Structure formats: C-alpha cells, structure tokens
Amino acid sequence: MKYEIKGEPMPVVICELEPGETMITEAGSMSWMSPNMDMQTSGGGAKKMFGKLLSGESMFRNHYTAQGGPGMIAFAASFPGSIRAIEITPDKPVVLQKRAFLACTEGVEFSVFFQKKLGTALFGGEGFIMQKLSGSGIAFVEIDGAAMEYNLAPGQQMLIDTGYIAMMDDTVSMDIQQVKGMKNIMFGGEALFNTQVTGPGKVVLQTMPMSQFASLISSMMPSKD
C-alpha cells in the first residue's frame, strides 16, 4: 500500500492498493474510491461490538479490498487539522482518543483501553475510555488542530485539559486531578478535573479538540429568550 496525505488544514489520505490489499475504517469514513474497491461490513462479534459501544466508536467497520487490479481509496478528515500515519508494531501499541482513528491496513488489531484507577473512571470524561491499536500495520490518525508532541521520561508528568490528548504510547499512565482551591473552581473558567499523564512514553496533544470548538461556538450563539 502506498499513500499520500494532502490538503491541510482539511487533509485527506489517498491510498493506492495492490490487488487483494485491504483498508479498514469505521462506517461512513470513506470519501472516494475507484470502482473496483469491494466493501464488506463487519461488527467483529458481540464482545468487540460492546467494547466499541463503550468507547464511543461506530459498532461496525468497513473492509475495502482492491479487486481485479490496483485500487484507490481516500479518507478525509472531519475537522481542520492533520492526518498522521502511525506504524503499529507488536512491541509498540498506540492508544487513541475515541474519534482519532481514521483508517488502517489489515493486521492492526483494535481493543478498548480502560484506565484502571477509579477516579479516572468516574471523572475522566473523554479521557477515560480510549481505543488501543496493536498488531502490525499502518494506521491513519486524525488530529484536531495542530499536533504537539512530548516525550515523557519515567515518572515525568503533565496536566492536560480533557479532550486535548490525541494519542499516546501505552506505557503512559493516566489519572485525573481535581483543580485546587474553591475560588479557582468557582471562577477559574476551567474544568473541575484535569487529566494527569505520567511517563515514560510519547504523548501527542491536539490544539483544538472538536468538543472544545463546539463549546466555543455554542457560547457565541444568541440566546433564544
């Protein structure tokens, strides 16, 4: 499979497939393709479908295979930002926020990534349930806004507002931390909890999460009263 990413800040990844090669994506993510691309829809079994429901993913994925010759298929971003190609290997799984996944080659495996700490489960919001990509292959990941990378040393920590984490190595642990001080909570204009990540590993942040953008637009809309 060969690919080209074009068109930022509204990017698209265009994949050129050899006969028999397959791309996997969530339902509704295909933008355009050659007519010899065969589509098959799969839910992956009851257990996997339940995991997708918990993580906020589509319950079905589409498999597109080039039939009878080379094929072409394109996947466009749903929000201004960038698309990144990530190499997935058995020794280096990647954890994504729930809407970052765009498409991947065969050989990439999906699972739900749960944070084990109770506090994260109760208050982590978007950061609690994420999806984990493992196995072998290439995955295309959608970043909202610009991407900022941080390589955390063992024990090194960062505090991040919910939703700004795009992806991270599975060696990075995550918890929540309450904002300190009643005045800060009441008048600081920030969320009640922040996400705390701890190294070692790489963390990729996005500068304008879609949820943040939607909240900003909503605050500017005139009241119906």
Structure confidence by residue, pLDDT tens digits, 155-185 = 999 999 878 999 999 999 888 776 665 544 4
109 pLDDT higher than 90: yes
Average pLDDT of span 118-135: 64
Cβ(119)–Cβ(175) under 8 Å?
yes
Segment 64-102, tens digit of pLDDT: 999 999 999 999 998 999 999 999 999 999 999 878 999
- Name the residue among 114, 110, 89, 115 with its Cα closest to residue 100: 110
**Three-state DSSP class for 88?**
strand
My answer on whether omega of the bond before 200 falls inside 30° of 0, hence cis, is: yes
Instruction: Please give the CATH superfamily to which domain 2-210 belongs.
Output: Mitochondrial biogenesis AIM24 (3.60.160.10)
- The pLDDT, as a whole number, for residue 209 is 85
- Specify the pTM: 0.81
Q: How far apart are CA 173 and CA 74, in angstroms?
A: 34
The radius of gyration of the chain's CA atoms, rounded to the nearest angstrom, is 19
